[in-house]
Chains A and B, each alone.
Chain A
């Protein structure tokens, strides 16, 4: 297992290098002059001085050499400076990922708590009323643009229910003045989380329910389930002890992939709810032509994705002894 893990970890390195190189090349096509960005908006500097800065920043080198410089700086922990947030890129990223994480982790917990029982029940009574209802529900869930669902929700709540905050993460007065105590802080942020977490839960619910259902159905048709039934075990034991445990395997794989993505923000939802997460950082970086910020955020997203694939493989190996033997 350890050797397998080590091998997979080593494989990550070239993948990430190539992806970051690709990203670097694409970013070079973005509009915006890095020198102007370095100097800040509206600063008057003579063309000679600008040229000098260009030289100092290494911008006259070929693109590939610039990439090597970038890589060298990243390896020493220097991600550059963000002019939109006016601070170090690493501080910006690590400052915002926790907000994204907060939303995603609650959404995932709720989605799992609902999806697993619903999926099992749908599978046991396949094509029953309950199953059909959730089939339609999941279909609508994957076919609706999430941001549109969010907009509708805000639109309805804005007119009817006053105590639910519609966007942002904290009540602005409280955020400026500071909270009286921890409890007030928690309830304020919690209230702001209600709508975004609802939307996120609904969207992950759609896929997770289908996934659980299909994997339970697959298991129920196996011979050992028939054996368990013919031994005279109660249906409850058969389903929850024999079937569900085996049906968990594919679910674990999906979760392995999901865990790193908890840190990546849902870009569209964060935009709709004005949630200060990493997705909003990326969007404002792109609109503000903040190249070092965008570069770092994209590479961060790539790392999440690659690590997710790795975790999926590894967790599958941990859960299924048959895979481990190989």
Chain B
């Protein structure tokens, strides 16, 4: 008899308390500016994926011997002048054939802008991923095990943090000049990732240190749950909010860094396009003065992307922040 009663109470309809994720999502939806940031970020992602697929006319306009409209995808990445082609339609202003004009090699700027966008966004996403993985790993291990391991890892993080950021990136990129153009993007991801994890690792460590002392962690210890499971299932979900926010904001930072490095000629190298190396063409004073359609659009795209990402990131931070409830 009594067993049946228990069943009944368990199955009885009751108000389920909302989980932290649901609360955060609700709060995020209310924050209009953050939603705008999120939506415009998604729009940019979709644009850089879709536009290079559908926008295929006149990629190679003006090369002699090739009829206009002929599409050879690979050529958009090739420096045609270096291959000895005569170019009839280089530096053409925006027109109906080439919506944003063409560059010095007669390549369509619009196509390169969105294809380069893929590269820049990939750099952002992958570097944020690498930074977050390293940061969480180091911070998690340091906070969980404490003691000597913690001391050593945090000292190491402090040293990495004291390394001059941009100069060191420049040197590492310069040392990796042998990488072919279409893979230089990975070099940028690597340098950004290995130098920017310490910030997050400190936050994660601090959080885990304080969580470790709480009752629910003592309970997991008494229940004899394995170390891995305690870290992955019980500790990490509690710091996930920090990780997501830091990944979002870190992505914006990485896109800016890619632009800076590529502008100096030490990031993604041409002929593979990226927003940064498209602006780099402005270092040539003729291009800078007379052909702004080559270098202004990528700068605008960077700005738009980073603003969206920052709005999204700050919105997420507010949404997750328990202090903001009220």
Task: Decide whether A and B assemble into one complex.
Answer: yes
In the complex formed, the residue of B with least CB distance to A148 is B299
Chain B residues with Cβ below 8 Å from A29 are 175-176
The answer to whether B299 touches A19, judged by C-beta atoms less than 8 angstroms apart, is no
Give Cα A294 to B174, complex, Å.
11
Chain A residues with Cβ below 8 Å from B264 are 267-268, 271, 283
Chain A residues with Cβ below 8 Å from B38 are none
Which one of B166, B260, B307 lies within 8 Å of A139 (CB-CB)? B307
* A286: interface (CB < 8 Å): yes
The answer to whether A298 touches B167, judged by C-beta atoms less than 8 angstroms apart, is yes
Give Cα A154 to B266, complex, Å.
23
Chain A interface, >50% SS class: helix
Interface bin, chain B: 35 or more
With A264-B164, A268-B263 known as contacts, the answer to whether A151 contacts B299 (CB < 8 A) is yes
Chain A residues with Cβ below 8 Å from B311 are 139
* B172: interface (CB < 8 Å): yes
The answer to whether B163 touches A22, judged by C-beta atoms less than 8 angstroms apart, is yes
The answer to whether B303 touches A148, judged by C-beta atoms less than 8 angstroms apart, is yes
Give per-residue flags for B135-173: 1 if the beta carbon is below 8 A from chain A beta carbons, else 0.
Answer: 000000000000000000000001100111011101110
Of A53-61, A96-104, A233-241, A303-311, the one touching chain B: A303-311
The answer to whether A267 touches B166, judged by C-beta atoms less than 8 angstroms apart, is yes
Chain A residues with Cβ below 8 Å from B252 are 143
Chain B residues with Cβ below 8 Å from A26 are 168, 171-172, 175
In the complex formed, the residue of A with least CB distance to B289 is A158
Give Cα A151 to B282, complex, Å.
8
Give per-residue flags for B10-49: 1 if the beta carbon is below 8 A from chain A beta carbons, else 0.
Answer: 0000000000000000000000000000000000000000
Whole-angstrom distance from the CB of A120 to the nearest CB of chain B? 22
Chain B residues with Cβ below 8 Å from A264 are 164
Whole-angstrom distance from the CB of A129 to the nearest CB of chain B? 16
The answer to whether B306 touches A143, judged by C-beta atoms less than 8 angstroms apart, is yes
* A145: interface (CB < 8 Å): yes
Give per-residue flags for B178-198: 1 if the beta carbon is below 8 A from chain A beta carbons, else 0.
Answer: 100000000000000000000
A window 160-218: CB within 8 A of B: none
Chain A residues with Cβ below 8 Å from B111 are none
The answer to whether B288 touches A297, judged by C-beta atoms less than 8 angstroms apart, is no
Which one of B170, B176, B279 lies within 8 Å of A286 (CB-CB)? B170
Give Cα A155 to B167, complex, Å.
27
Whole-angstrom distance from the CB of A323 to the nearest CB of chain B? 19
The answer to whether B310 touches A143, judged by C-beta atoms less than 8 angstroms apart, is yes
Chain B residues with Cβ below 8 Å from A19 are 159, 162-163
* A152: interface (CB < 8 Å): yes
Chain B residues with Cβ below 8 Å from A139 are 307, 310-311
Give per-residue flags for A12-47: 1 if the beta carbon is below 8 A from chain B beta carbons, else 0.
Answer: 000100110011001101110000000000000000
Give Cα A140 to B310, complex, Å.
10
In the complex formed, the residue of B with least CB distance to A307 is B162
The answer to whether B303 touches A305, judged by C-beta atoms less than 8 angstroms apart, is no
Whole-angstrom distance from the CB of A21 to the nearest CB of chain B? 10
In the complex formed, the residue of A with least CB distance to B298 is A148
Give Cα A309 to B162, complex, Å.
8
Chain B residues with CB under 8 Å of chain A are 158-159, 162-164, 166-168, 170-172, 174-178, 252, 256, 259-260, 263-266, 279, 282, 288-289, 292, 295-296, 299, 302-303, 306-307, 310-311
CB-based closest 7 A-B pairs: A301-B164, A148-B299, A29-B175, A143-B306, A143-B307, A30-B175, A145-B259
Supplied contacts A30-B171, A30-B174, A268-B260, 13 more A-B pairs, CB within 8 Å: A19-B163, A31-B178, A145-B263, A145-B303, A147-B279, A148-B302, A151-B282, A264-B164, A267-B264, A283-B264, A286-B266, A298-B171, A302-B163
